[in-house]
Structure 1
């Protein structure tokens, strides 16, 4: 179940209105995540491709504010409101709660309290307790909950999250963007060092930004992560789940600039 301190009923109710128009729950949630990710990257073509799937004659007969695209936007707003109120992984909680009625979801994420404990055990320290920049790695990140907890403790760190589930990787990218973290999120199996897709999120004073890396950048990132991991093992500083390591002596991977786009409701504006 969703974490008890996180009320996601409004979000689930809004998404349920879309599902009742003839869509599966998993498709609705997956499309919602993709719409948010594409909107924040200003990627109009894939965004509109998803929107067109919902623009059936019956759906467009609904008044403005009640169409599926409007409900997706409403759920985005509700998500942001709950994140501001709780400073927690609301997106992951919504996934768990909304997916209870569907076998297509099948993921249950580590409770927030356990993430807090694991971050403490792994040695993620507060800003005033560190010298140099920390690197925090979660090789099976789920919705990115562990990274969010670590990000609250050490927001200036560089974060790496990886998960073989495409939807989980996208949720992590969104969460890192919402929390305004410098992070790389990889979709692929960490055990086989498989990198299928990757996203970079970047901090700015105006709010987080996110962009998908191209194939060359993904290859460069894979090489950097592999070298960094091998160096960590050789130094004998590997941690079991979340890794802490100084990164001042390493070149940051994929340094292309990311346009700053605040994660705001305006990202969901669309034309009829």
Structure 2
């Protein structure tokens, strides 16, 4: 079940209206996450491909405000309202609750209270004995719940999340953007150090931004993560799921491009979808 402190019934009801038009719960949730992520990146072509698929199913016959794209946008607004009220992983809670009706889901994430305890044990947010920027790493991040808890405690840190599930990676990228964190999100198996895709989110005073890295940047990120891990092991300081290495800031930051225009994660991201 969803975390008891997060009420996601309103969001689930909105998504359910779309599902009842002949879609599976998993497809609706996947498309919703992709639409949000594409909109936040200003990627019109893949965004419109998803919208067109719903149009082809007679969706335009519904009145304004009741079309599937309108309901997706409504669910996005409800998500933002709940995140503003709880400062928690509402997206993951929706995934858990909505997935109860689908055989294609089947994942349940670490409870928020346990994430709070793990972050405390790992020392996230504690005073540093050096001037180096703190790095927070979760090699099996799911919907990013652990990273979001750490982000509240240490918002100036650099966050790195990895998950082999493509949907989880996209949820994490969206969440890190929503909560305005500097982060790298990797889709791939952390046990084999496999990187398939990656996203970068950046903090700004106007709100978070997100972009997908190109192949060359993914390779640079892969080299940085591999080097950081090897340096940590050689220093007899085993890495933990929440606490990164204690190397210099330049050594801990990959050389991927950092000049991304910041955009507020808002309902405006869905404008122009008609």
Task: Please give the range of the TM-score, normalised by the shorter of the 2 chains.
Answer: over 0.9
Residue 122 of structure 1 contacts residue 244 of structure 1 at CA under 8 Å; is this kept in 2?
Answer: no
Map 1:98-113 onto structure 2 (within 5 A): 98-113=98-113
- Separation (CA, whole Å) in 1 of partners of 2:242 and 2:99: 27
- Separation (CA, whole Å) in 2 of partners of 1:167 and 1:213: 17
- Separation (CA, whole Å) in 1 of partners of 2:234 and 2:45: 45
- Separation (CA, whole Å) in 2 of partners of 1:229 and 1:157: 18
Cross-structure match for 1:258: 260
Structure 1 position 268 matched with structure 2 position 270: yes
Cross-structure match for 2:7: 7
Residue 239 of structure 2 contacts residue 245 of structure 2 at CA under 8 Å; is this kept in 1?
Answer: no
Runs of 4+ displaced beyond 3 Å: 126-131
Give the TM-score taking structure 2 as reference length.
Answer: 0.96
Residue 200 of structure 2 contacts residue 210 of structure 2 at CA under 8 Å; is this kept in 1?
Answer: yes
Residue 48 of structure 2 contacts residue 273 of structure 2 at CA under 8 Å; is this kept in 1?
Answer: no
Map 1:114-125 onto structure 2 (within 5 A): 114-125=114-125
Check 1:67–1:127 CA distance in 2 against 1; reply closer, same or farther (3 A cut): farther
The alignment covers a number of residue pairs equal to: 272
Shift of 1:131: 3.5
- Separation (CA, whole Å) in 1 of partners of 2:42 and 2:229: 33
Residue 228 of structure 2 contacts residue 252 of structure 2 at CA under 8 Å; is this kept in 1?
Answer: no
Shift of 1:57: 5.8
- Separation (CA, whole Å) in 2 of partners of 1:69 and 1:45: 15
Structure 1 position 96 matched with structure 2 position 86: no
- Separation (CA, whole Å) in 1 of partners of 2:175 and 2:269: 15
Shift of 1:48: 0.1
Residue 200 of structure 2 contacts residue 212 of structure 2 at CA under 8 Å; is this kept in 1?
Answer: yes
Check 1:182–1:127 CA distance in 2 against 1; reply closer, same or farther (3 A cut): farther
- Separation (CA, whole Å) in 1 of partners of 2:30 and 2:244: 32
Q: What residue ranges of structure 1 are gaps of 5+ in the alignment?
A: none
Residue 127 of structure 1 contacts residue 156 of structure 1 at CA under 8 Å; is this kept in 2?
Answer: no
Cross-structure match for 2:212: 212
Cross-structure match for 1:49: 49
- Separation (CA, whole Å) in 1 of partners of 2:58 and 2:218: 41
For residues 170-218 of structure 1, give each alpha carbon's deviation from its aligned partner in whole angstroms, at most 9, with x where no partner exists.
0000010011000000000000010000000000000000000000100
The CA RMSD over aligned residues, in Å, is 1.4
Cross-structure match for 1:187: 187
